[in-house]
A and B are shown apart, each in its own frame.
Chain A
Amino acid sequence: MMSGSELTFGVAEFIAYLNQTLEVAYPFVSVEGELSNFRVSKNRWVYFDLKDEAESAALKCFAVIYALPGPLEDGMRVRVSGSPRLHPMYNFSFQVQQIVPVGDGSLKKAADLLRAKLEAEGLFEESRKRSLPSFPRRIALITAGQSAAYADFIKIAGARWGNLTVEHYDVLVQGDESPRQVVAALQAVNGSAEPVEAVVLIRGGGSAEDLAAFSDERVVRAVAASRVPTLVAIGHEIDLSLAELAADVRASTPSNAAELLLPDRGDERRHVTTISRQLDENLNTYIAQKRQDVMSLSKRLDERLNTVLDSAKERIYRTGQLLDVLDPHRPLTLGYALVHATDGLVVRSVSAVSPGDEIAIELADGTIGATTTGVKHKGGTS
């Protein structure tokens, strides 16, 4: 402790005092420099030096692996954020809480390294890709609420389809805080009790640094892990983020995302109208066919009736002919005669008449009245 007018500390006490001073002076600072001697120990602890371009100064840094944005390597320019600390055994180091690659070269390098790593894990495999719903009714949209990307998506979505509920997650789409917010939104979407049918993650164009959040390992993994099908459009057509590679479907722009996700109302109307017309045509064709069937049946009935009539006529004709042959008056034309008693009955035997009986003799052309003068049986008796 202190003695006399000078401050005298014990070693541990001095280190603790110094750390307190550092904490007050630099609770959270960012330092930018080039990575050097980067190494990971036991897959948990990360050690590296941060150097100036002129390599005139080096800052020893320490971090846990979770602070890494993705694979890093020596030579990359990064911005580290955290606090300085003097360790009782390992001297001075910068305790890093966050590391972000900076500058186009470093960002590209970081993205290339991460891409190779995630590709090896199969996160970008085509076989993982799922299709989007044909007519989504509820979707999640993750983007900045004030962005042109948001406005474009909503405008195109409304023009194309409508009938859509958009669960909007307003997130930062650039900067160090962006990945955490995007991941939190993706987790909220997937953790919802009423899952949406698709999740759309969009952002407009920008510099490589502006778009870096969408190549952040946490974001890429969250996109790949999403149970809800994902549609991602980041930047312009030429920009390609790792989140887009991990997505089920990639769109070239936010407007294109709305076009890919939603059907066109006009096309659908035309489709429904076509089916409606086909319904009418099919029923009309069906009825015409049935009418044709009835006509055909009617014709067959007519034909059948005519056949029956012809057959009946033929039978009548033949019967008539037979009747003619059997007509008892027919022999009268040959000179035979029929004898009728007064009661009109034909006299079939001489026994039926007696002398004096009136009889009528019927010939072919008329009847002769006569009186029986005598009756003679065959064989001579009278």
Chain B
Amino acid sequence: MTKRTIDYAATLAELETVLTKLQDGETSLDQAIALHKKGKELVASLDDYLKDADIIVKRQVAGEQ
């Protein structure tokens, strides 16, 4: 599942970079549309990541206890 494979912090940072690029006004219309599409894909990944998130507990043993 996509949810488990993305790095939330890195994906969020990428999304914020996409938004900044879109805001700087230096891009062409084609680039702006491509950035918007990319941004929406990142939003979908982050939304998916935030849905139904579970905690996995793994029991560990530290030497002799």
Contacts and interface: CB of A to CB of B under 8 A. Distances in A.
Interface string A162-175: 11111111110000
Contacts of B23: 282
B46 A272 contact: yes
B8 to A, nearest CB: 5
Interface residues of B, number: 38
A165 B59 CA distance: 11
Contact of B50 (A133, A166, A184, A269): A269
A336 interface: no
Contact of A279 (B40, B52, B62): B40
Nearest to A134: B9
A287 B32 CA distance: 9
Interface in A137-153: 137, 140, 145
Please list the 9 inter-chain residue pairs (A to B) with the smallest Cβ-Cβ separation, ordered nearest first. A162-B53, A188-B62, A185-B62, A163-B53, A184-B62, A279-B39, A283-B36, A276-B43, A135-B9
A158 interface: yes
B47 to A, nearest CB: 6
Nearest to B56: A165
B40 A276 contact: yes
B60 interface: yes
Given A185-B62, A265-B50, 17 more contacts: A135-B9, A164-B55, A165-B55, A165-B57, A165-B58, A168-B57, A168-B58, A168-B60, A169-B61, A184-B64, A188-B61, A189-B62, A268-B46, A269-B50, A276-B40, A283-B32, A283-B33
Contacts of B57: 154, 165-166, 168
Interface string B13-56: 00110110011010101001100100110010011011011111
A268 B32 CA distance: 25
Contact of B8 (A135, A184, A269, A276): A135
Interface of B is mostly: helix
Interface of A: 133-135, 137, 140, 145, 154, 157-158, 161-171, 181, 184-185, 187-189, 265, 268-269, 271-272, 275-276, 278-280, 282-283, 286-287, 289-290
B43 A272 contact: yes
Between A134, A269, A272, A278, the greatest number of chain B beta carbons within 10 A of the residue's beta carbon is seen for A272
Contacts of A137: 7-8
Contacts of B25: 286, 289
A187 B61 CA distance: 11
A275 B40 contact: no
A286 B59 CA distance: 53
B60 A140 contact: yes
Nearest to A278: B19
B59 A170 contact: yes
Contact of B63 (A184, A268, A278, A282): A184
A69 to B, nearest CB: 19
B22 A283 contact: yes
B2 interface: no
Given A278-B19, A282-B19, A290-B29, A265 B53 contact: yes
Nearest to B43: A276
A278 B16 CA distance: 10
Given A135-B9, A184-B63, A279-B40, A166 B58 contact: yes
